[in-house]
Amino acid sequence: MSGSRKSEIVNVYLPMIDGLIVQACTFADDFPPPTAGIPPFYKLHFGLEKVHSISNWKDALDAIISLLRCVLRVTSDPVFYTVGKAEVAGALDRFAVKLVELQVTGSPPSDGMTEEEEYSHLRLHHRVATIMLHTLAEEDATVHDRYIPDFLLVLERCEHIIDRRASVPEEDLPNIRGPTLGILPPLFFVATKCRNHTIRHRALKLLHGTLLNEREWTSCMATMMAKFVVVQEEKLNGIMPGDEPDLVKVRLRLHDIDFSSSKHTMHLGYFLHVDGKPREYCCVTLPYMSHPSVQNNGVNTLMSRKTLRACGYSSIILFAPPIDCHCVDHDEPGLCRIEEIA
């Protein structure tokens, strides 16, 4: 084998293979399998070095994807978290500095975007990644209450992006929809994790109002799941508008989801947390009407437990097509007649 061929394998193909393995480790359930010879901690910090070589907005998007993968992996295991948290936190801090540098130097934006929109989009996902790093590994569900101002910032940046889309002629919308990490994951994250009544309800309303398909799910699917969490927590805690987070004694943490196109149902598994601690695993079946954009030969695409834990994040989205509402109860979008199974 020639020297140039070896160099190509080392510099191009091996990193590409590593990237595919790391992607699978992050988002595929039961991967790596025990017989694969791949340790669960394989390349735990893969891609973190990208924060040091950001010179434009595309570099920054590539870096934040790597950061999110690292956050999700180091928070998935107590040992990983102990070993890897500090390095990931440092990379997140460095990324924030790089974003400011890009904004100050006036780096040319992507087609259909302004510099401010590039910054707002990346800053949004950076803030979500930062909150996740400090909360996903914690067993105590009340840890999210420390980040109410951060949840508000995420929500406001989502509102800004959606307002921008609303002001653009429909024929120009494809030019501003990608590449992106999506708008559904951050809104779903706020709606299901933030217990401030006003903030989470604003996020819930905005989540459904996007009326988009983002790869594995739609805004209606995300709203149905988030609405279940919100409504059940309010019922179990007797929460009224204006109640403070410390009154939320019982919380839900979603674990698994299965959408059945043939049965028109959504099977949702979750853990009940009481006073911050996990108490029991529960499951519920809700009415669900599928959408063609998330089907393959009439069968719903699956959302892994890892992707659900990541609030729908998976990878770059190049296009998010608009959809019509497919919620079961159109009078109350996303409700799915939860009152019947309370």
Distance CA 150, CA 91 (A): 19
Entry pTM: 0.90
pLDDT of residue 337: 39
Q: How far apart are CA 219 and CA 206, in angstroms?
A: 9
Tell me if 23 sits within 8 A of 310, measured CB to CB: no
Token output for 53? 């070589």
Higher-pLDDT residue of 175, 144: 144
Q: What pLDDT, on the 0 to 100 scale, is given for residue 5?
A: 63
Higher pLDDT among residues 110 and 173, named by residue: 110
pLDDT at 211: 92
Peptide bond preceding 108 in cis form (omega within 30 of 0): no
Please name which of 307, 57, 54 lies closest in space to residue 185, comparing C-alpha atoms. 307
Q: What does the domain layout of the chain look like in residue ranges?
A: 138-342
pLDDT at 50 over 90: yes
As separate numbers, helices (DSSP H) first and strands (DSSP E) second, the chain gives: 10, 7
Q: Residues 291-324: pLDDT tens digits? A: 877 766 556 667 999 999 999 999 888 888 889 9
In this model, does residue 104 exceed pLDDT 90?
A: no
Closest of 134, 338, 342, 303 to residue 216, by C-alpha: 303
Which one, of 54, 164, 58, 163, lies nearest residue 110 by Cα? Answer: 58
Read off the pLDDT of residues 116-174 as tens digits, 9 standing for 90 and up.
Answer: 888 889 999 999 999 999 999 999 989 999 999 999 999 999 998 888 877 766 665 55
pLDDT of residue 1: 58
Is the pLDDT reported for residue 235 higher than 50?
yes
Contact (CB, 8 A) for 168 and 307:
no
